């Protein structure tokens, strides 16, 4: 995941205690539920200039801003056979990865890979892509008009919404193509991916409660509204006004129902404070001033690891269930950074969040899969190589990019193979004492 939310102005200090001692095992999940882990093309593949690949917006931004790059990354392009074997050994049902547009354009993927790929997501983290790339300008293509930012071109008042609109139309077109030409033969499904936080009001005031709903409308409803109901939420239409594009009737019909499932990436909570922003430029409102809310990542920034707060996942799944007609959901990313081999905190985090997913399913959520971010350490984009999200660590100083299983890889593998991971303090001690980093 991209460390984009670290870019929000941050104040903080909530510590969650939430050790979940629920006992559950994989057999408690519904038949067909998929467990997996993920990577993405630019973060994993390397081989940036091989076999005809051309630069993408990430290549361009990384090389122009001296922020590290994915020229080699994990060298997954060459080492994929070894990696797939590791996935099989770990016991994953599924692998979530991405295909680099700049490797395949102008061929279209369904024809070539459709017999093997059963779940397509057209766009990953659509809200992060638009806000980061066109409102804040911190991620590719680096466009914005906010003062104090590094952007040459852009317009944060308008482009964020224009691009979001075009993503939805592009998704709907790809989805229609798949349904008309391929779905019957190939039997897969096609979805759309969002980055979602567990929003919670920062105080018990009515204003903060209303601001929290606005934040949900701006982060979730901006895309889920059109995908599920064919239009943007009323709050957005009201505040953004003529800067928010309007769907023609036939476009609305095409976008509505164009996702067989919603892909969500979920990591942590964020508190929401009602605020009347003065736009950074007079008469140039942007995404945040339109939203009228201050969103603050909840966590302790002196440690890099995310808090174990499974209620954030449960709240997101419950909200999607209740507000958006309970669509099928795949959790396409969840995890925490942590560089140690003996990554007990990650094990506790995964255990608690998987338990939270199970609770949500038992309360009626149609969640159908869970993917750990990430299968191995990756080039974490603007977070460079420092984060260590992987079940497997990667030695990036080693030309062979050697992979080594962390404690969490062993735990996840045990879990996937049907052992009950009961994590009381005794269980954790046992897990640690059985783990030697070289194993």
Interface residues toward ligand NAG, by CB under 6 A = 145, 155, 157-158, 284, 318, 322, 363-364, 395, 397-398
Q: How far is the CB of 157 from ligand NAG (least distance, A)?
A: 5
**How far is residue 170's CA from residue 130's CA, in Å, rounded to a whole number?**
14
Say how far residue 162 (Cα) sits from the centre of its chain.
22
Q: How far is the CB of 97 from ligand NAG (least distance, A)?
A: 25
Q: How far is the CB of 309 from ligand NAG (least distance, A)?
A: 15
Residue 125: active-site member: yes
| CB-based contact 191:203 (threshold 8 Å) | no
Token readout for 240 is 């953004």
- Closest CB to ligand NAG among residues 60, 322: 322
Q: How far is the CB of 137 from ligand NAG (least distance, A)?
A: 12
Closest CA to 47 of 76, 68, 67, 69: 76
- Closest CB to ligand NAG among residues 121, 360: 360
Token readout for 152 is 């040459």
- Closest CB to ligand NAG among residues 241, 364: 364
Q: How far is the CB of 318 from ligand NAG (least distance, A)?
A: 4
Query: Which one is catalytic: 45, 125, 305, 314?
Result: 125
**How far is residue 359's CA from residue 335's CA, in Å, rounded to a whole number?**
18
**How far is residue 405's CA from residue 427's CA, in Å, rounded to a whole number?**
19
| CB-based contact 234:171 (threshold 8 Å) | no
- Closest CB to ligand NAG among residues 98, 155: 155
Cross-strand pairs, 81: none
Q: What is the DSSP letter of 93?
A: S
| CB-based contact 199:314 (threshold 8 Å) | no
Token readout for 342 is 């003996």
Query: Which one is catalytic: 45, 159, 305, 333?
Result: 333
- Closest CB to ligand NAG among residues 308, 313: 313
> C-alpha angle with apex 188: 183 to 194, nearest 5 degrees?
115
- Enzyme catalytic residues: 125, 333
């Amino acid at each position: 995941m991209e460390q984009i939310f670290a870019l929000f102005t941050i104040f903080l200090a909530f510590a969650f205690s939430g050790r979940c001692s629920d006992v559950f095992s994989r057999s408690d999940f519904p038949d067909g539920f998929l467990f997996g882990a993920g990577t993405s093309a630019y973060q994993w593949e390397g081989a940036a200039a091989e076999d005809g690949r051309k630069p993408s917006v990430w290549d361009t931004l990384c090389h122009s801003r001296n922020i590290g790059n994915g020229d080699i990354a994990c060298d997954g392009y060459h080492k994929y056979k070894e990696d797939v074997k590791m996935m099989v050994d770990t016991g994953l049902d599924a692998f979530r990865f991405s295909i680099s547009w700049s490797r395949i354009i102008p061929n279209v993927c369904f024809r070539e890979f459709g017999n093997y790929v059963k779940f397509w997501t057209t766009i990953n983290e659509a809200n992060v892509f638009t806000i980061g790339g066109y409102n804040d300008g911190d991620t590719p293509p680096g466009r914005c008009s906010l003062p104090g930012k590094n952007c040459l071109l852009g317009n944060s008042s308008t482009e964020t919404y224009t691009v979001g609109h075009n993503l939805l139309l592009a998704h709907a077109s790809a989805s229609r193509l798949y349904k008309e030409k391929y779905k019957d033969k190939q039997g897969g499904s096609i979805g759309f991916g969002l980055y979602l936080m567990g929003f919670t009001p920062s105080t018990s005031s009515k204003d903060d409660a209303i601001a929290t709903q606005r934040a949900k409308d701006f982060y979730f409803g901006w895309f889920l509204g059109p995908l599920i109901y064919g239009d943007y939420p009323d709050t957005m239409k009201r505040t953004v006004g003529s800067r928010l594009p309007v769907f023609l009737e036939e476009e609305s019909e095409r976008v509505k129902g164009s996702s067989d499932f919603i892909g969500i990436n979920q990591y942590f909570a964020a508190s929401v404070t009602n605020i009347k922003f003065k736009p950074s430029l007079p008469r140039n409102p942007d995404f945040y001033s339109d939203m009228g809310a201050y969103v603050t990542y909840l966590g302790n920034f002196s440690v890099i690891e995310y808090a174990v707060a499974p209620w954030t996942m449960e709240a997101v799944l419950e909200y999607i269930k209740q507000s958006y007609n309970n669509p099928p959901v795949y959790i396409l990313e969840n995890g925490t950074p942590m560089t140690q081999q003996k990554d007990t905190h990650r094990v506790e985090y995964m255990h608690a969040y998987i338990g939270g997913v199970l609770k949500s399913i038992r309360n009626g959520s149609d969640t159908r899969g869970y993917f750990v971010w990430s299968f191995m350490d990756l080039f974490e984009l603007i977070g460079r190589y420092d984060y260590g999200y992987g079940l497997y660590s990667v030695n990036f100083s080693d030309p062979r990019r050697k992979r080594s299983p962390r404690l969490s890889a062993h735990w996840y593998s045990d879990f996937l193979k049907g052992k009950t991971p009961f994590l009381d303090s005794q269980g954790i001690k046992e897990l640690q004492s059985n783990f030697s980093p070289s194993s």
